[in-house]
Chains A and B, each alone.
Chain A
Amino acid sequence: MTITTANTMTNTASKITADNKKMTKEEAFLNISKIDMAFPTPTGSFTALKDVDLQIKKGEFISLIGHSGCGKSTVLNIVAGIYQATKGGILLKNKEVNEPGPERAVVFQNHSLLPWLTSFQNVQLAVDQVFSKTMSKSEKKEWIEHNLKLVHMDHAMHKRPDEISGGMKQRVGIARALAMQPEVLLMDEPFGALDALTRAHMQDSLMEIQKELNNTVIMITHDVDEAVLLSDRIVMMTNGPEATIGEILDVNLPHPRNRLALAENPEYNRLRSAVLTFLYEKQRKVEVIPTAKTTEKADIEQQKNNVA
């Protein structure tokens, strides 16, 4: 399924992606093995995903990109264990995944912080649960503070979500997920609701954290630049129903990546245009431009897709 692109910058290719091509299913750290997902609807079963198959290495950063409604979130929710695939399954370190768990921490799109707890307490809830037996009280406190420091939120530890900005809430959400010391970090459009400046800032923070912790990450995004900037591989999904993986693009840009320097980089621009070509030529959404009359129909269509 991997499209091996004519590689013009072989000398800078990262080790991870070079190894990828040789990866067998048994070697994969996280194996998304031929999953189908069908949702029951009043008019019969709706197949959202068909034969999605992906092997991920430890420490790899994967972006899932595709038009809205193509089932990206469904894939993520299946990996998280919130949904159960109707066919196929998920293997993490060769063990099947069938329920949610802290080793697959999720950063939700709208932060999902408990509004009645402070940033510290929100992270504490996770730490108390995951390290209830392995850490002492003072160790837990230190670990919570360490994680909040990592996302630069130590100054607002004792503020509640309604007292901090959207970007700050998302940071706390990331800190909470990181504090679980997950094997895989799942991020559902983590920066989608943020303004462009805050988003750039958060991406830089994430790269910094990724460099330090070398997490295995699956991130859903709509943002082509974000995908190219952060990922080792970009997984592009076809439109639903029966969505599947269309192409996988290896990003062989050297780390650390700098958004300003990359703007002039031909490889960066080639990757960027490859994603854009996929999204807007190969998988262009054949959608009627909504006018007053068709809007309602389109909305219904949209809702149907959003189920996926």
Chain B
Amino acid sequence: MSLSTATINRSTVNEKMMKTLKSVFNKVTNTLILPAVGIAIFLVLWSITASSIHTSLGEFPGPNAVVKQFSALYDEHNTEREKAEAFYDRQDLRNAKKLEKKPDYVVKTRAYTGKETFFDQILTSLITVTSGFLVAAFIAIPLGIWMGLSAKLNSAINPIVQIFKPVSPLAWLPLVTMIVSALYVSDDPMVSKSFLTSLITVSLCSLWPMVINTSIGVSSIDSDLLNVSKVLRLPTFTHIKKIVLPASIPMIFTGMRLSFGVAWMVLIAAEMLAQNPGLGKFVWDEFQNGSSDSLARIMAAVVVIGFIGFLLDRIMLALQRKVSWDKSSVSV
């Protein structure tokens, strides 16, 4: 009798262990092994297809060629940096000498005007997309809140939003370029015209998802919560701060994440077409360059663009987690 219960106990213990092992295994499979398998299959298919496509610029680059170009781009960046440093060193030296000879000499420093490397272009693109997005958010969120609060304003503005929402950035670009050149005239500009053009184009396109989601979020707040605010006679500003904003934060963030994605896509297209500095210009320059490495370098840019887009979304998600009171509403 006792023997059999012991065996039963042992077998249940074994079962339990098997179960936990299984769940751990499942977790590892889902988060590590399966994505790795997917990527591996993609890489194999890529290299097989790539080797069978012959373009006027040579064979289409496979994964190997792209990795090689990555390190080439990195080396170029380092060489360029060294050159820049050397330039500034020379300039400082020269200025110091001049000052020695002539103490009242006004020191002139000139910026290094070498070619922008791949990594410089990434930085430029990131700065442009963030500024464009922030400008859009500063307009869109207050406007969305206002539209959500007032049904009348919503009916007045909604048609405009619906019409401008599907407009491609490429249609805006020529107009924005002309307006910027006409209106932004200054001898000592704070930012370059091309930066401003990209920024405005990005803002124009990323405005709409934020406006729509914010206004929906605000207009769908539980009427009981609004009644609480009415009974307390909260002044408008307190009402927005204490009730409206916290209640609609999840929808606002959904809009912001959509907008950031749109902004990143729009930016690359805008840079390409308008020859504004950034990753888009890098792609276009490489295409025009037409060397045997060009396609591999473009492909490297494509991978980087994808990764940055993914990272930006993750950053927004992390921000949402930090700000939102309802952690369960934050989903990947």
Contact = CB atoms under 8 A, between A and B. Distances in A.
A105 B232 CA distance: 8
A294 B322 CA distance: 50
B225 interface: yes
B325 A105 contact: no
Contacts of B247: 114, 116
A115 B326 contact: yes
A112 B227 contact: yes
A241 interface: no
A110 B224 CA distance: 8
B232 A114 contact: no
**Interface centre among A114, A115, A180, by most B CB within 10 Å?**
A114
B interface: dominant SS? helix
A100 B233 contact: yes
Contacts of B233: 99-102, 129
B243 A82 contact: no
A271 B325 CA distance: 48
B246 A100 contact: no
B225 A114 contact: yes
Contacts of B318: none
Interface in A53-87: 80-82
B242 interface: yes
Contact of B228 (A81, A108, A116): A108
A101 B233 CA distance: 6
Interface in B223-266: 224-225, 227-228, 230-234, 238, 242-243, 246-247
B290 to A, nearest CB: 57
A114 B243 CA distance: 8
Nearest to A177: B231
A257 B238 CA distance: 42
Contact of A130 (B225, B230, B232, B242): B232
Contacts of A126: 232
A262 interface: no
Nearest to A186: B231
Given A80-B231, A101-B233, A115-B326, A125 B224 contact: no
**Interface centre among B224, B243, B246, by most A CB within 10 Å?**
B224
Contacts of A180: 232
Contacts of B325: 115-116, 160
A50 interface: no
A80 B229 CA distance: 12
B203 to A, nearest CB: 30
Contacts of B222: 112
Given A116-B325, A116-B326, A125-B242, A102 B224 contact: no
30 contacts: A80-B231, A82-B230, A99-B233, A100-B231, A100-B233, A101-B233, A102-B231, A102-B232, A102-B233, A105-B231, A106-B231, A108-B224, A108-B227, A110-B224, A112-B222, A112-B224, A112-B225, A112-B227, A112-B228, A114-B225, A114-B228, A114-B242, A115-B325, A116-B247, A116-B325, A116-B326, A125-B232, A126-B232, A129-B234, A129-B238
Interface of B: 222, 224-225, 227-228, 230-234, 238, 242-243, 246-247, 325-326
Listed from nearest, the 8 A-B pairs whose CB atoms lie closest are: A116-B325, A112-B224, A100-B230, A116-B246, A100-B231, A129-B232, A112-B228, A108-B224
Interface of A: 80-82, 99-102, 104-106, 108, 110, 112, 114-116, 125-126, 129-130, 160, 180
Given A101-B233, A116-B247, A116-B325, 4 more contacts: A100-B233, A106-B227, A112-B222, A114-B225
